Amino acid sequence: MTWTRPVRAALLSGLTVLLPVAAPAALSAQSAPPGSAPRGRLTLHMGYEQGPPSGWVQVRENRIDGSRLSLARDLGVHSVSSVAVGLERSAGSGAFGLTVTASTLRGSAVIAQPVYFNGSTLAAGTVLRTRTEAGDFLRVVVGYAHPLARVGSSGELIGRAGLDATLLDFRLQGTLAPGSSGHETKEDFVTQELPAPFLGAQLRLPLNRRVAFHVGADGGGLPWVSSLRYEGGLVHLSQSRFDADAGVDVALSAPLTLGAGLHATGFAQNEQSREDGNRFALASTALALDLRWRF
């Protein structure tokens, strides 16, 4: 289905960028998975990343089909920024972790023709603004990581698994056309969203006593399933998610570790009922910083 193209684009761009990396490159806001670094009992990590997005949004209301709006071309969204906060707790040789990431999509563009969104008609020749702020776009990841095998003299292959939930309330601001049958310019995808399982792995290779290189990938999602919720009829949905990261982290002191790098990600959601038909897809490859404190 065409709505998965941004996810495939993220996979291809991520592999193109990440596989050749064998020197200081990347540490994403989602990297430093539980159990991947020298451990204290708890690890607090904070991250920031920013990069250009690709993707689109389309929101139908009853018989009014929504316009398919490209984030960059139609909405003028040329950057996505994310702030992450996470906590990990050691459990034997592995660790459990919880990470919350807040992302922001902002942009503006003059629309040359009417735009249909959630049953509303936005007037041609006016400015359409995307104002999906950090509180409107949250990602919550609950996971477990455990070493799987030794690699070489000091390297390690780490397995990862868990649940991933994306909580999106996509918001636009614009001028309603005269006679518009609707008046809402937002769509709460979060109402139908379900947590999705994921699996992944990371290869970690210490370069010396203070610096370690890693590369990893995670993927998951849901097939076409019932959301168990109703909005103009039973809502069915599908979701997919892909992440890839590679990089180095440097031990600044015994408790503090700093990383910098790249993070490729893709997410898509498709939800359909008799009343609603909502699709969202986002992909990006971002530069990122991450600070971890073990205590």
Confidence of residue 25 (pLDDT cuts 50, 70, 90): very low
Chain centre to alpha carbon of residue 150 = 30
Residue 279 lies in a domain: no
Domain that holds residue 78: 2-270
Residue 111 lies in a domain: yes
Q: Has residue 3 got a pLDDT over 90?
A: no
Residue 284 lies in a domain: no
Residue 49 lies in a domain: yes
Residue 282 lies in a domain: no
What pTM was computed for the model? Answer: 0.85
- The encoded tokens of residue 53 equal 């997005």
- Of 104, 111, 105, the C-alpha closest to 175 is 111
pLDDT given for residue 37 in this prediction: 41
Residue 107 lies in a domain: yes
Distance, CA of 52 to CA of 81 (rounded, Å): 9
Provide the CATH number for the domain around residue 108: 2.40.128
pLDDT given for residue 7 in this prediction: 42
Distance, CA of 63 to CA of 18 (rounded, Å): 44
Q: Has residue 9 got a pLDDT over 90?
A: no
Residue 34 lies in a domain: yes
Confidence of residue 231 (pLDDT cuts 50, 70, 90): confident
pLDDT given for residue 1 in this prediction: 39
Average pLDDT score over residue span 173-196: 94
Chain centre to alpha carbon of residue 95 = 22
Confidence of residue 38 (pLDDT cuts 50, 70, 90): very low
**What does the pLDDT look like over 58-107, one tens digit per residue?**
999 998 999 999 999 999 999 999 999 999 999 988 999 999 999 999 99
Distance, CA of 146 to CA of 246 (rounded, Å): 18
- Of 200, 149, 168, 172, the C-alpha closest to 271 is 168
- Of 254, 225, 230, 259, the C-alpha closest to 240 is 225
Confidence of residue 279 (pLDDT cuts 50, 70, 90): very high
Q: What is the DSSP string of 89-158?
A: EEETTEEEEEEEEEEEEEEEEE-SS-EEETTEEEPTTSEEEEEE-GGGEEEEEEEEEEEEEEETTTEEEE
Residue 291 lies in a domain: no
Q: Has residue 42 got a pLDDT over 70?
A: yes
Q: Has residue 119 got a pLDDT over 50?
A: yes
Average pLDDT over all residues of the chain: 88
Contact 68/280 with Cβ under 8 angstroms? no
Average pLDDT score over residue span 120-144: 97
Considering its fold, how many domains does the chain have in total? 1
Confidence of residue 153 (pLDDT cuts 50, 70, 90): confident
Confidence of residue 220 (pLDDT cuts 50, 70, 90): very high
Confidence of residue 16 (pLDDT cuts 50, 70, 90): very low
pLDDT given for residue 21 in this prediction: 35
